[in-house]
Amino acid sequence: MKVLYVSAFLWPHIGGIETLSLKFLPAMQELGHEFRVITSFAKRDLPKHDDYKGIPVRRFPFLKAISDPDLRLMKKCVQSMAEEKRSFEPDLVHLQMSAPISYYHVKSLHSHPSPTLLTLHTCFGEFKAGPDTVLGQTLRTADWTTTVSNAVMSDAKKVFPDISKRSSIVYNGMEFQDVQPAPLDFLNPCILGLGRLIHRKGFDILIDAFASVREQFPGARLVLVGDGTERVAFEKRVSGLGLQDSVSFTGQVHPHQVPELIQQATVVVVPSRFPDPFPTVTLEAGLLARPVVAAKMGGLEEMIVHGKTGLLVPPDSPQSIYDAISHLLTHPQEATIMGQAAQIRMKTAFSWDRYIRSYDELYHRLGNQA
């Protein structure tokens, strides 16, 4: 089946969708699906025509046209999307909705009519889905919609109730690497935060919490993995708290390096300020038997069983994060059991085989309607 895979971002941009796509596309290709990827430049100097493991990748200035805004460039991008559809003649369009590039898909529907599978990765908050909005048109023209969590589905139903008739929840999956998780280090504990260094991810909350952790556990260290617009501000916060010797910023790393970093962690923290729909780091941490401390919001409440596979805490509360980390570090056996339970849960509830099988079935069901 020929599938046009449309995503606002792709590697080398790093995020949950991008990391997942690096594994999803080759896995689906092995099942016989033929892909062409349409994405943006994402403010990087990247080739327009590229290739990822034999899969053609086409980049266009989708986001620049919208952010400037440049109506002439937007029109040109619509034409480019239409040309890609006509030349590739897909049986199905799989649209990853994480940015408003769905505008170009909606405006080029006539170029080569084919079913659309829409995947929603985030909650909409105060956004509206009226018939004249890009969001409303995207939701109305999709033949089927999947969401990555019940939290996203509930939010989508609020803005567009009709989605109930043609939608399903497909939890993201993660390949389980048959490796022995390293023992948790409680002598010199490592606290790990991984994600984009932006305000809504809440790593400043973790930094503040770690200041108290450091007082109680002098040998503790904090590792922040990722990059983003708030990195300089976070580094200044660390300096202001006198934590330079115990906090390290790795910058952006390749997804292949993430497991090794998690293996070094005693506790993984996801301090999001917003309803994080389905953070991949929670899956990765669980698969390597690491207990997770996370904000009690969004998809995190579905991924973590409080008190069994990790600890959920009130959002935007350094004290609560400190209390949770302190509890785990002072109860090594409990923390170890939580990590082991997390590994079992991630391997079963969020298995890679289940995830791929779900999309393979959807591809065939929708593609055969063309």
For the chain, which domains are there? 2-173+351-367 (3.40.50.2000), 190-349 (3.40.50.2000)
What tokens does 148 get? 């990555």
pLDDT of residue 240: 97
Average pLDDT over residues 364-369: 87
Separation between Cα atoms, residue 360 and residue 200, nearest integer Å: 33
SS3 169: strand
Q: What is the band of 270 on the pLDDT scale with cuts at 50, 70, 90?
A: very high
Asked whether the beta carbons of 350 and 344 are under 8 A apart, the reply is no
Report percent pLDDT > 70 for the chain.
Answer: 99
Asked whether the beta carbons of 299 and 155 are under 8 A apart, the reply is no
Render pLDDT for 123-135 as a digit per residue (tens, 0 to 9). 877 777 788 888 8
pLDDT of residue 303: 95
Mean pLDDT computed over every residue of the chain:
93
Average pLDDT over residues 339-356: 94
H-run or E-run covering 24? helix 16-30
Render pLDDT for 278-307 as a digit per residue (tens, 0 to 9). 898 999 999 999 999 999 999 999 999 999
At how many degrees (to 10) do helices 150-159 and 134-141 cross? 110
H-run or E-run covering 348? helix 332-349
